[in-house]
């Protein structure tokens, strides 16, 4: 099972442009790229918590182009949390290897948007889930 220390955080560029800024997300040459399987978005409404999941095969690359999201990672072996907030206030990418429990919460009052660039196509069989109450964290 993965350690929360193995989560990578990579600052990303925002480029000002007339008519609307350009925001980097990921290049195939970037650190953390493990191949492309699927890209999908998850909205998180203000204050909402989505937890807990663990991918057993998937490496996630997470970017938040709108709003701000708190990601909480939990390493069961070490019984240790790691918290990373990303989004408009800290525009960065999180690379999450398989084997780490995680949950996330919308920090903005409005909806936040998470893009996951994953190295495999979504497969419900590689996902483990627990109820929110099964890992004690004070959100």
Instruction: Quote the least distance from Cβ 9 to a second copy, whole Å.
Output: 17
C-beta of 18 vs 125, nearer to a second copy: 18
Q: Which stretch binds a second copy (CB under 8 A): 2-10, 26-34, 70-78, 80-88?
A: 26-34
Beta-carbon contacts of residue 104 (< 8 Å; ≥ 6 apart): 44, 49, 50, 51, 69, 70, 71, 72, 114
Q: Please say whether the beta carbons of 135 and 49 come within 8 A.
A: no
Which 75-104 residues touch a second copy, going by CB under 8 A?
none
User: What gap in Å lies between CA 24 and CA 11, rounded to an integer?
Assistant: 10
121 scored as a contact of a second copy (CB under 8 A): yes
Among 1-9, 76-84, 94-102, 109-117, which window interacts with a second copy (CB under 8 A)? 109-117
Residue 125 three-state SS = helix
Shortest distance, position 12 Cβ to a second copy, whole Å: 9
Shortest CA distance to 96 belongs to which of 87, 84, 108?
84
Give the three-class secondary structure for 116. Answer: strand
- Select 2 or 58, whichever has its Cβ closest to a second copy: 58
Give whichever of 98 and 106 is closer to a second copy, judged by the CB atom. Answer: 106
Residues 37-56: x/- map of binding to a second copy (CB under 8 A)? Answer: xxxxxxxxx--xxx------
Residues whose CB is less than 8 angstroms from the CB of residue 55 and which lie 6 or more positions away in sequence, other chains included: 96, 98, 99, 100, 126, 127
- Site of interaction with a second copy (CB under 8 A): 17-29, 35-45, 48-50, 63, 65-66, 106, 111, 113, 115, 117, 121-122
């Amino acid at each position: 099972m993965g350690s929360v220390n193995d989560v990578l955080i990579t600052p990303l560029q925002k480029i000002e442009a007339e008519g609307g800024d350009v925001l980097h997300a990921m290049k195939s040459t970037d650190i953390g790229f493990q191949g492309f399987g699927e890209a999908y978005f998850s909205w998180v409404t203000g204050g909402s918590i989505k937890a807990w999941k663990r991918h057993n095969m998937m490496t996630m690359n997470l970017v938040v182009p709108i709003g701000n999201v708190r990601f909480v990672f939990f390493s069961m072996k070490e019984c240790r949390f790691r918290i990373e907030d990303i989004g408009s206030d800290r525009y960065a990418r999180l690379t999450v290897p398989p084997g780490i429990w995680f949950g996330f919460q919308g920090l903005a009052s409005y909806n936040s948007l998470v893009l996951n660039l994953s190295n495999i196509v979504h497969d419900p069989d590689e996902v483990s889930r627990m109820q929110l109450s099964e890992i004690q964290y004070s959100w």
